């Protein structure tokens, strides 16, 4: 946002503070992984968070492009790049059916 509206987002003086907060937070999380139980915590995060996060990211990506950015704007961008508009079946499949199927599939995998 700083590049788009430089006069509104004057974060130069806060950039060091934000970087410091981020580094301290990552350091504290890293300390947990260096304890005796750190390997087990890492394994839990690796098995469960990674599997759930991939579904959540995929669903949110489809919803963000389809609903926030807009399917028509996305179709117009694709037409500008390729010369062809997206078919209606693609819009329905990508922005409605796919997020629903992935959300249901993720819930079923998470529950079982």
84 token code pair: 């062809």
Tell me how crowded residue 25 is: count the other CB atoms within 10 A of its CB: 10
pLDDT higher than 60, residue 66: yes
Q: Which residues are within 8 A (CB) of 11 and not within 5 positions of it... i.e. 6 or more apart?
A: 2, 18
pLDDT tens track for 17-59: 888 999 999 999 899 989 999 999 989 888 888 777 877 888 8
Under the banding of pLDDT at 50, 70 and 90, the label for residue 1 is: very low
Alpha-carbon span 88 to 71, nearest angstrom:
10
Give pLDDT, residue 94: 84
Share of the chain above pLDDT 70, in %: 87
Mean pLDDT of 65-78: 87
pTM of the model as a whole: 0.52
């Amino acid at each position: 946002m700083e590049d788009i509206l430089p006069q509104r987002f004057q974060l130069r003086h806060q950039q060091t503070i934000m970087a410091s907060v981020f580094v301290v937070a990552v350091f504290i999380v890293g300390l947990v992984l260096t304890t005796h139980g750190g390997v087990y915590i890492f394994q839990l995060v690796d098995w469960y968070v990674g599997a759930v996060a991939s579904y959540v990211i995929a669903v949110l990506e489809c919803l963000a492009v389809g609903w926030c950015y807009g399917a028509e704007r996305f179709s117009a961008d694709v037409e500008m790049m390729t010369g062809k508009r997206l078919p209606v079946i693609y819009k329905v499949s990508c922005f409605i059916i796919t997020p629903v199927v992935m959300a249901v599939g993720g819930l079923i995998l998470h529950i079982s």
